[in-house]
Structure 1
Amino acid sequence: MRTKQGLVVVVAAALALALPLGACAATAEDSPTAPQADLTTLRDEVIPATDPGRSPANANRRTDTFVSMILKPGGVFLPGFYENGWDGNAIVPIFASLVVRDESGQPKPDLAESWEISPDNLTYTYHLRDGLTFSDGSPLTADDVAFTLTLLNDPAYSGYIDFSDIVIAGTDEFRNGDAPGLSGITVIDPRTITITTERPNPLALTILGGPVISKAHYGKGYAKGKLDYLRDLYAKPLGAGPYQLDRFVEGQEVRYTANPHYYGGQPPIAHLIYKVLPSTDAALQNFQNGDIDQGGFGSDPAVIDELKELGYATINTRVIPDIGQIWVNNSNPALAPTQARQALNYGLDRQQIVDARFKGLGQVADTYAAPPLWSYTTEGVTRYDFDPDRAGQLLDELGWVRGADGIREKDGKKLTLSYITTKPDDPVIPIGEQNYTALGIDFVPEVLDSNTAFARFNSGDYDLAGFRTEGLADPDDAVREFGTNDPNINLSRYRNPEVTRLVAAGVGTFDEAERKKIYAELYQRLSEDPPTILLDYRKSISAYNARVEGADAFRTGGEDAAQALAKLKIRSS
């Protein structure tokens, strides 16, 4: 999956080059400076409501409606085609998958009641539940699954879902030849589909078993190599999830009604609303006055005390499996050399950014895995503690010389780097300006709306861009883009043959112990030749009004969040 966006909890070795700087950089084990927080030792915590009866009247009047929050949806409500990650949150209630993952990352049935994997790990057979329908009452069958996978492997498809490490049999003949479909997909009967792949991959079960869309709805007008017609359907989603879209008012709300045809039964709560809010500060105010029932409140420990005082708030604090980063456009000639990216890492006071952003509930990130992931390790990785002298030395070695105005120049061109963000209060702006200006870099922040920012980011029209990864369910989620040359996936345009080999090796075996060894080596290689600037891990605060029963399961925001949504109930006052 493409690793970008900022999710809210509502429902991210040596090179062949002989580089001297890798040898002299400190590692996490021998550095004298330790992070101020260690999220690997912090446990998730649930703080129960102490006085549910204090729930605001404004909330209590909503006897058939649950209101959560969302920040910046863009209105592309089609799995596999959105670019703004908030749209990924917005489609969670609408669509259902064959298989999802629970909070621990284990596969869990959704539309498929069971499955088998062949002994060679190449063929997957899914058995659909009996009587499945989409929200309009039309049947959902194996033909819809086949159509979904065909669409996502169409030669014109340029979205974030990547089958390159799986490869359904017949993909080449379909994309580059005259084959009308993928020969590896066989519909046995309306409830059974078999998919044969060319490469073993431990993620294939859930990637092949992703959200299912309606062939009758989305297949009208389909012709191989021509997908533009789907744009007219972005705002008209049809899925098999627990809710169906009622309306989307940009900048205000995404409104849903319960799906009477949901396989798990019509949800007890008739209406669901994601209220569009500008910030976590606004979320707290809306929660206090009863305008929302659930929200994410950032990572300020002081907020926990404010929520406790309300009495009706059940509070969750959780180490989030994502990573805050600054993506670096490696195709920019000024940023292509490894030394340049190392200089940017050494030259930025990341601890100061983490302190400003999380106030003690964050940790500087040093490896391409979040602490909750089973692959997480910092053993042997290069640690980039704030060292402006080292950063300056590296830029000197690359030939970037300070001009009369203090800005570095090379071959008549100034070292000017823009920084894309969607947050006016992004601490990278003042800290980056201070640190990089002192280093001789002309640092130019650009605060953009989400749709413009993602469009620039996805097209490669950026130097530096601040985004979080999506929630990471598997180690591959954080590193996959660095192992492919596909610009629709590899948004950093990073190239490193050894990294490419290790990324492929990480999904080339089902043995978790072996995978762990591979990722440990991969993290070392990525730290020595950093594709991006790692920033932080975080512990996040969310809460829900105790009038809502079952929201503790919904808090995780994981792939099974839709199933949790379908079980929410409002307690009678």
Structure 2
Amino acid sequence: MTFDDLFISRALSRRSVLAQAGAAGAALLLGAGGARAASGVSGATPQTGGTLIAVLDPEPAGLIAGITISAPAVAVSSNLFDGLVEYDETFKPRPSLATSWETAPDGTAITFHLREGVTWHDGAPFTSADVQYSLMEVTKKTHPRGNAVFANLVAVETPDPLTAVLRFARPSPVVWAAFNGTETQILPKHLYEGTNPLANPWNVKPVGTGAFVFKEWIKGDRIVLERNPNYWDKGRPSLDRVVFRIIRDAASRAAALETGEAQYIPLNPVPLSDVQRLKSSKDLVVETRGFEGPAPMYFFDFNLRREPFGDIRVRQAFAHALNRQALADTVFYGLAKPATGPVPSYQAQFYTPDVPQYDFNIAKAEALLDAAGLKKGADGVRLRIDHVPAAYGEDYRRAGEFFRQALKRIGVEVTLRNFDLPTYVKIIFTEYDFDTHSAWYSAYPDPQIGVQRRFWSQAIKKGTPSSNASGVADPEIDAVIERIQTEGDVGKRNAQVRELQRLAQVKLPSITLLELTFFRVYSSRLSGIDFSPFGGYQSLKSVQVGS
């Protein structure tokens, strides 16, 4: 069995678990519209051409998902860039920029045979040199997950323009979960070489190989993409144009869907309180499928560079003060469940519940703060801090208010600081100007991709979004993470993943709160919606607007 076959076998096993776990969530969210989507019938006659109006919130800071990591950036970027492979509904890789591949018997090399005749949107040919540059100079160096996923990648050889040979220090089956375009983007070497990728001006006017070509970005209003007439996948895209409108007001986003002004909104587009109402509409589909791959997890971070968060008793007190079930029920309207640790429970191969837990216990929280020397003053306050919620809409701001009220009960006064997405990214990942912050991250099918970056010291990458913002640098945690990256025996590696979960709960550099259920809403007149595990982030190249 080759190492890509090994990954596929493991992913298929995970997929069956995901399907069972997702059934309850789908039953909760999907009404008649969901049934139509599942059967592939849109209730309208598909047409080629036309314009799809989609909606984004928040507005991304950049449009290169491999550099400016954020969900809105991915939603746009996946239409502009292809990956070496795509994944079908069973996580099996299928051809994209690469038409075929072979893995060496010892697992230390993967040879990709690239598609002939592919051009960048500016007309330059796509070659193996682009693959080499992107993996070695961008993914490994700037991507928040890249140095973990591709830790063992030592070289990319280019024997000819259509062959790329990836050389690994040791077998790395995890990479087969990351070759798609939403995770590992291939960038044009001729526009990036010799520049700082994080500051390259092409990040806001991308040149890709994807089904759509960047046309314009009017900040605060819209991002316009047009059909790529030279796209290698003949007959696609079906649409002539995709317009991503920026609508910050949640009620206005819901209204745009209900009036037909917009036909597609990915990534939790409306307030969670509106979900039950929208799912009853015959004109709309509320869909949870397409997020099994990202596996969103919600967490509360401490800035370990600041006192008193170096004291574990303070961190434990916060964990005891936050009622995760109440957070799931009230802020997330039941579209979440308490997490036991950083790995999602439906990733059965890796998950373990046998780790320390922090029950909701105000008395215990206060005792821990007392023991840490943080006594209440005459005004009842023992500590004043700030908190920065993720800049992903009103639901996350309400979560910030939940934290403020919960921590007030133990004598911690919290000042909330809310920002737009570009400012949030700068504050959290460049300036590290926060006491605490809350956000969600994608765990992805393998913890080496999504989970490790939260806890690995080598994932502290100033200026890189979704990296290790807390600043945790624990030698014991680092050692486990590095064993996960290098262990070739599946059973031993899984044991190390379980040990990482234990250490994350014991040392508590960050509090994992919830497993989230994401959804998207779209018109029932659309067909060709991608239901693959990464479908919520995938290109809209197969979508058609019905008449």
Pairwise TM-score range, normalised by the shorter structure = 0.7 to 0.9
Which residue among 494, 511, 514 is the counterpart of 1:536? 514
Instruction: Give the letter aligned to residue 97 of structure 1.
Output: G
Q: Is the 8 A contact 1:323 1:534 kept in 2?
A: yes
Cα drift, residue 458 of structure 1: 0.3
| Mapping 1:50-449, distance limit 5 Å | 64-152=50-138, 157-163=141-147, 166-167=150-151, 184-205=155-176, 207=178, 210-219=184-193, 222=194, 226-227=195-196, 230-265=199-234, 266-278=236-248, 280-295=250-265, 296-297=268-269, 300=272, 303-308=275-280, 310-318=281-289, 321-375=295-349, 377-408=351-382, 415-421=383-389, 422=391, 423=393, 426-449=397-420
Which residue among 502, 505, 509 is the counterpart of 1:527? 505
What per-residue deviation string (whole Å, max 9, x for no partner) do you get for residues 240-278 of structure 1? 111111111222221100111222124111111222222
Cα drift, residue 134 of structure 1: 1.6
Q: Which one has the bigger helix percentage?
A: 2
Which residue among 477, 495, 508 is the counterpart of 2:486? 508
Partners of 2:197 and 2:264 lie apart in 1 by 37
TM-score by length of 1: 0.79
Q: Is the 8 A contact 1:83 1:454 kept in 2?
A: no
Q: Which residue of 1 aligns with 2:424?
A: 453
2:442 aligned with 1:474 = no
Cα drift, residue 440 of structure 1: 1.8
2:545 aligned with 1:570 = yes
Query: Structure 1 residues 400, 62: closer, same or farther in 2, change over 3 A?
Result: farther
2:524 aligned with 1:546 = yes
Partners of 2:259 and 2:424 lie apart in 1 by 32
Cα drift, residue 192 of structure 1: 0.4
Cα drift, residue 166 of structure 1: 3.7
Instruction: Give the letter aligned to residue 480 of structure 1.
Output: R
Q: Which residue of 2 aligns with 1:6?
A: none
Partners of 1:217 and 1:372 lie apart in 2 by 41
SS in 1 for 2:288: strand
Partners of 1:430 and 1:387 lie apart in 2 by 19
Q: Which residue of 2 aligns with 1:495?
A: 473
Cα drift, residue 193 of structure 1: 1.2
Cα drift, residue 487 of structure 1: 1.9
Partners of 2:162 and 2:230 lie apart in 1 by 17
Q: Which has the larger radius of gyration?
A: 1
Cα drift, residue 303 of structure 1: 2.6
Cα drift, residue 302 of structure 1: 5.9
Query: Structure 1 residues 403, 324: closer, same or farther in 2, change over 3 A?
Result: same
SS in 2 for 1:151: helix
Instruction: Give the letter aligned to residue 148 of structure 1.
Output: S
Cα drift, residue 479 of structure 1: 2.5
Query: Structure 1 residues 315, 229: closer, same or farther in 2, change over 3 A?
Result: closer
Which residue among 16, 24, 33 is the counterpart of 1:42? 24
SS in 2 for 1:469: strand
Instruction: Give the letter aligned to residue 187 of structure 2.
Output: I
Partners of 1:430 and 1:442 lie apart in 2 by 12
Cα drift, residue 420 of structure 1: 0.5
Query: Structure 1 residues 94, 267: closer, same or farther in 2, change over 3 A?
Result: same
Q: Is the 8 A contact 2:47 2:544 kept in 1?
A: no
Q: Which residue of 2 aligns with 1:35?
A: none
Partners of 2:208 and 2:459 lie apart in 1 by 29
Partners of 1:491 and 1:207 lie apart in 2 by 22
Q: How many residues align?
A: 502
Partners of 1:51 and 1:374 lie apart in 2 by 30
Moved more, 378-387 or 285-294: 378-387
Cα drift, residue 141 of structure 1: 1.0
Cα drift, residue 138 of structure 1: 2.3
Partners of 1:194 and 1:90 lie apart in 2 by 29
Partners of 2:434 and 2:310 lie apart in 1 by 14
Instruction: Give the letter aligned to residue 451 of structure 2.
Output: A
Alpha-carbon RMSD across the aligned residues, in angstroms, is 3.2
Cα drift, residue 558 of structure 1: 5.1
Cα drift, residue 430 of structure 1: 3.0
Instruction: Give the letter aligned to residue 123 of structure 2.
Output: G
Q: Is the 8 A contact 1:129 1:191 kept in 2?
A: yes
Cα drift, residue 228 of structure 1: 6.9
What per-residue deviation string (whole Å, max 9, x for no partner) do you get for residues 278-322 of structure 1? 2554332111000111224457476334332x3222332357611
SS in 2 for 1:402: coil
Instruction: Give the letter aligned to residue 452 of structure 2.
Output: V
Q: Is the 8 A contact 1:424 1:447 kept in 2?
A: no
* Percent identical residues: 22
Q: Is the 8 A contact 2:67 2:198 kept in 1?
A: no
Q: Is the 8 A contact 2:286 2:520 kept in 1?
A: yes
What per-residue deviation string (whole Å, max 9, x for no partner) do you get for residues 190-233 of structure 1? 110112122432223455772212223333xx2xxx52795322
Q: Is the 8 A contact 2:88 2:533 kept in 1?
A: no
Cα drift, residue 469 of structure 1: 0.5
Partners of 1:167 and 1:61 lie apart in 2 by 45
Q: Which residue of 2 aligns with 1:483?
A: 456
Instruction: Give the letter aligned to residue 365 of structure 1.
Output: A
Query: Structure 1 residues 316, 556: closer, same or farther in 2, change over 3 A?
Result: farther
Partners of 2:176 and 2:89 lie apart in 1 by 16
For structure 1, which runs of at least 5 residues remain unmatched after alignment? 1-37, 171-183, 409-414
SS in 1 for 2:286: strand
Q: Is the 8 A contact 1:299 1:359 kept in 2?
A: no
Instruction: Give the letter aligned to residue 464 of structure 1.
Output: T
Query: Structure 1 residues 63, 291: closer, same or farther in 2, change over 3 A?
Result: farther
SS in 1 for 2:62: coil
